[in-house]
Amino acid sequence: MSQVLSLRAVGKAFHRGGLTTTAVDAVDLEVGERETVGLIGESGSGKSTLARIALMLITPSCGEVRFEGEELTALSPRQLRVRRARMQIVFQEPAEALDPQHTVGWSVAEPLTARRDRPSPGEVRERVAEALRMVRLDPALATRYPGQLSGGQQQRVGIARAIISRPSLLVLDEPTSSLDLSVRAGIIALLQQLQADLGLAYLFISHDLSTVEYLADRLVVMYRGRVVESGPTAALIAAPGHPYTRALVDARLDVDPRVLPAPAPETAVGATTPAETGCPYAHRCPRVADDCRTATVTLAPLTAGHEVACLHPLVPAR
Ligand SMILES: Nc1ncnc2c1ncn2[C@@H]1O[C@H](COP(=O)(O)OP(=O)(O)O)[C@@H](O)[C@H]1O
Ligand code: SF4
Ligand SMILES: [Mg+2]
């Protein structure tokens, strides 16, 4: 499988009021053609920052971002705009993508009309209608304003906007987290259908494992800006290697989100500051040992395709 997205040693530090926050720290991540990678971790673990780096909506402090084989970090804003037609994002809050001052049709069309090679007005209208139909909305909604739609309809409009430019990759940043339980299942089912119809690759982000586990081929677990575990979904859930992944697996509700969507409430990172040396999870880890506080902890293979960053993983390496 060729890789659509490939991040290498990507990092991002924010500087604010004399404080430096390392939101993303030396992350490697790959998403293959038509693959769904689930990115999970609690609030503040760096998921949204990584999502925005993947699309070069923010520039990483270090590392490489490859999309469809091309390194993006050295490209100009204009060159990036052209590439962005092939990679789109769906935000947690549909309002982030929908301008309340403009009609639904205008917002859906924007990825096409923002380009120099914009199609004719007639073609734009047709493509908007087609995109709205694909997300199971009445094309007549194109003349309405976002404020006239329900939350679920707004998120469908956000998805229509994301697919109109025929991307190969969608980054879905908690696309169902702000929606009522009753509409979540429909959005998950829609995303599954669109992936099958359009051959999309998904980077599906959630703080909640039960939302992504039915969709994801592979899971990547982040904790405080680092990847602490990654591997095939079934293997990682059956036998997590990292104590943090174990906690996420134990906290999940064992239900199919398409039937009964009930994600766990979002928890924030604890107030305790992790030590600068040793394992960043040591202050919460039930398995912590003396060497955890001093040794450097890096990702190492457990089995083929399953990696964990823990000195004393729950399953031994094979
Ligand atoms: N623009 C920013 N300026 C300063 N700090 C930021 C900014 N964006 C994110 N952060 C910080 O980076 C960390 C990771 O945030 P984020 O990527 O939003 O995590 P998540 O999506 O997993 O909740 C948090 O500590 C957050 O406060
Ligand atoms: S390295 Fe030590 S503290 Fe860190 S997760 Fe593993 S056992 Fe826990
Ligand atoms: Mg986020």
Question: How much is the pTM?
Answer: 0.92
- C-alpha to C-alpha distances, 252 to 177, 216, 266, nearest whole angstrom: 15, 15, 12
When pLDDT is averaged across residues 188-199 and rounded to a whole number, the result is 96
Angle at 56 between CA 50 and CA 60, to 5 degrees: 60
Q: Which residue has the higher pLDDT, 192 or 261?
A: 192
Predicted pLDDT at 311:
96
Say yes or no to pLDDT of 251 above 90: no
Ligand nearest the Cα atom of residue 268? 1
When pLDDT is averaged across residues 230-244 and rounded to a whole number, the result is 96
The β-bridge relationship of strands 300-303 and 87-90 is unpaired
The mean of the pLDDT values for the chain is 91
Residue type (1 letter), 36: T
Q: Which residues pair with 204 in a beta bridge?
A: 38, 172
Q: Ligand 1 centre from 16 Cα, in Å?
A: 12
pLDDT digits (tens, 9 = 90+) for 20-35: 999 999 999 999 999 9
Residue nearest to atom 10 of ligand 1 (CA): 23
Predicted pLDDT at 1:
66
Residue nearest to atom 5 of ligand 2 (CA): 310
**What is the Cα–Cα distance from 8 to 170, expressed in whole angstroms?**
19
Q: Which residue has the higher pLDDT, 150 or 1?
A: 150
Q: Which residue has the higher pLDDT, 211 or 126?
A: 126
Residues with a CB atom less than 6 Å from ligand 1: 14, 16, 21, 23, 41, 43-49
Angle at 22 between CA 37 and CA 15, to 5 degrees: 130
Angle at 109 between CA 112 and CA 169, to 5 degrees: 65
The β-bridge relationship of strands 169-173 and 87-90 is parallel
Predicted pLDDT at 301:
95
Residue nearest to atom 6 of ligand 2 (CA): 310
Q: Which residues pair with 14 in a beta bridge?
A: 21
Residue type (1 letter), 219: L
Q: Report DSSP letters for 176-202, one per residue.
A: TTTS-HHHHHHHHHHHHHHHHHHT-EE
- Whole-angstrom Cα Rg for the chain: 20
With beta carbons less than 8 A apart as the criterion, state whether 216 and 38 touch.
yes
Angle of helix 181-198 relative to helix 151-163, nearest 10 degrees, comes to: 20
Provide the 8-state DSSP code for 120.
Answer: P
The β-bridge relationship of strands 62-67 and 3-16 is antiparallel
**What is the Cα–Cα distance from 304 to 281, expressed in whole angstroms?**
24
Ligand nearest the Cα atom of residue 25? 1
Predicted pLDDT at 277:
83
pLDDT digits (tens, 9 = 90+) for 80-110: 988 989 999 999 988 888 999 999 999 999 9
Best of 288, 290, 302 to mutate for ligand 2, by most ligand atoms within 8 A of CB? 288
Per DSSP, helices labelled H in the chain are 47-54, 77-83, 104-113, 121-134, 151-163, 181-198, 209-212, 233-238, 243-251
When pLDDT is averaged across residues 247-255 and rounded to a whole number, the result is 78
pLDDT digits (tens, 9 = 90+) for 159-189: 999 999 999 999 999 999 888 888 999 999 9
Predicted pLDDT at 269:
45
Domains of the chain (ranges; CATH) run 3-274+297-308 (3.40.50.300)
When pLDDT is averaged across residues 121-142 and rounded to a whole number, the result is 97
